[in-house]
């Protein structure tokens, strides 16, 4: 990845790594404004009102799944940084699986939610939009992780070349951070 850009910008690889990191952090800052907009819309419209029909236990369960996936994403990145290919592949695959499990959880609770607070209610509007936006981010993260696994099957990610892994994993963690705020916003506050 870096090679083309390094060539275009005449940067030393270590410098390029720092530039890439800054770019990703800026993107994350921008995305957090998106979630801030949606979360404030929820509070603006509903205050702390919450539907009685929410399945809080299910929400808690998928939170745990997502937090666990962050642990494995971290392990994938660390393994890649130390050149441990097997560890990298295993941890990445586990992260993907947990991400998919999270999405299954979302589908399950959407089915419950549709019955009690469909999108045509105010709570449903906020709920489905916020969870939907977040789930879309999870989905893009899963796709990116799958590409990493596919591209890295030849063992190209290692101590000298871990930016792609690091970048995707940082994005994944960010999606987790967003959930850390969305979960109480939708499921817990009252």
Partner 1 sequence: MAKPETVQGRRSAMALGTAVFVALIVLDAIEFVVAQVAGQLLLWMTLLAIPQAALILWFYMHIRQLWREEAH
Partner 2 sequence: MAILKGIAGAVAGYALGFAVVAAAQLAMGNPVGGAVPVVIGSVFATVGWLLGVGLWRAWAREWFGLEPRLDVPTGPGRYFRFNTDHKVIGVQYLVTFVIVFGLAGLLAMVIRWELITPAADLGGDAYNQVMSLHGILMVAVAVAAVLGGLGNYCVPLMIGARDMAFPRLNALSYWLIPPVAVLLLTAPFVGGWDSGWTAYPPLSVVNAGGQVLFVVAIVIFGLSSILGGLNAIATILRMRAPGMTLMRMPIFVWSVLAASIISLLFTQFFAASLILVLLDRVAGTTFFEAAGGGNPLLYQHLFWFYSHPAVYVMILPGFGITLEVLTHFSRKPLFAYKGAVAGFLGIVVLSGIVWAHHMFTSGMAHFMNIPFMALTELISIPTGLVFLSALGTIWRGRLWLRTPMLFALAVLFNFAIGGVTGIYLADVATDIHLQDTYFVVAHFHYTIVGGEIFALMAGIYYWYPKITGRMYREGLGRLHAVWMFLAFQLVFLPLFVAGIHGMNRRINEYVEPLRGYNVFASVAAFVLGAVFLIALGNLVWSWARGRVAEANPWRATTLEWTTSSPPPPHNFEQTPEVVGDPYPYGEPGAVHVRPVTVPTIAGGSE
Q: Which residues bind partner 2 (CB under 8 A)?
A: 1, 4-5, 8-10, 15, 18-19, 22-23, 26-27, 29-31, 33-34, 36-38, 40-41, 44-45, 118-122, 124-125, 128-129, 147, 150-151, 154, 156
Largest Cα–Cα distance in the chain?
A: 59
Count CB atoms within 10 A of the CB of residue 169: 27
Using rule CB under 8 A, residue 25 touches partner 1 = yes
Name which of 83 and 124 has its Cβ closer to partner 2: 124
Binding partner of residue 85 among partner 2, partner 1, none, CB cut-off 5 to 8 Å per kind: none
Binding partner of residue 107 among partner 2, partner 1, none, CB cut-off 5 to 8 Å per kind: none
184 touches 42 (CB < 8 A): no
Using rule CB under 8 A, residue 174 touches partner 1 = yes
188 touches 157 (CB < 8 A): no
148 touches 77 (CB < 8 A): no
Closest CA to 187 of 51, 8, 10: 51
Binding partner of residue 151 among partner 1, partner 2, none, CB cut-off 5 to 8 Å per kind: partner 2
Stretch 78-97 residues interacting with partner 1 (CB under 8 A)? 78-79, 81-84
Give, in degrees to the nearest 5, the angle at Cα 60 between 107 and 116: 50
Using rule CB under 8 A, residue 173 touches partner 1 = yes
Residue 75: both structure tokens together: 């392990």
Instruction: State the number of CA atoms in the 13 A half-sphere of 20 facing the CB.
Output: 23
The residue ranges that bind partner 1 (CB under 8 A) are 17-18, 21-22, 25, 48, 56, 60, 63-64, 67-68, 70-71, 73-75, 78-79, 81-84, 159, 162, 170, 173-174, 176-177, 180-181, 183-185, 187-190
């Amino acid at each position: 990845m870096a090679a083309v850009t390094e060539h275009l910008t005449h940067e030393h690889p270590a410098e390029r790594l720092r530039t890439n990191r800054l770019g990703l952090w800026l993107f994350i800052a921008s995305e957090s404004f998106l979630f801030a907009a949606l979360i404030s819309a929820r509070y603006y419209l509903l205050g702390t009102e919450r539907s009685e029909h929410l399945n809080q236990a299910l929400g808690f369960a998928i939170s745990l799944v997502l937090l666990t996936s962050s642990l494995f994403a971290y392990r994938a990145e660390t393994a890649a940084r130390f050149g441990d290919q097997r560890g990298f592949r295993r941890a990445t695959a586990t992260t993907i699986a947990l991400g998919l499990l999270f999405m299954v959880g979302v589908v399950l609770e959407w089915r419950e939610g549709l019955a009690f607070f469909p999108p045509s209610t105010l709570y449903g509007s906020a709920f489905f939009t916020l969870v939907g936006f977040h789930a879309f981010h999870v989905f893009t993260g899963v796709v990116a992780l799958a590409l990493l696994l596919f591209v890295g099957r030849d063992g190209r990610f290692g101590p000298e070349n871990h930016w792609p892994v690091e970048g995707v994993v940082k994005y994944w963690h960010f999606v987790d951070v967003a959930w850390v705020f969305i979960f109480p916003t939708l499921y817990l506050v009252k």
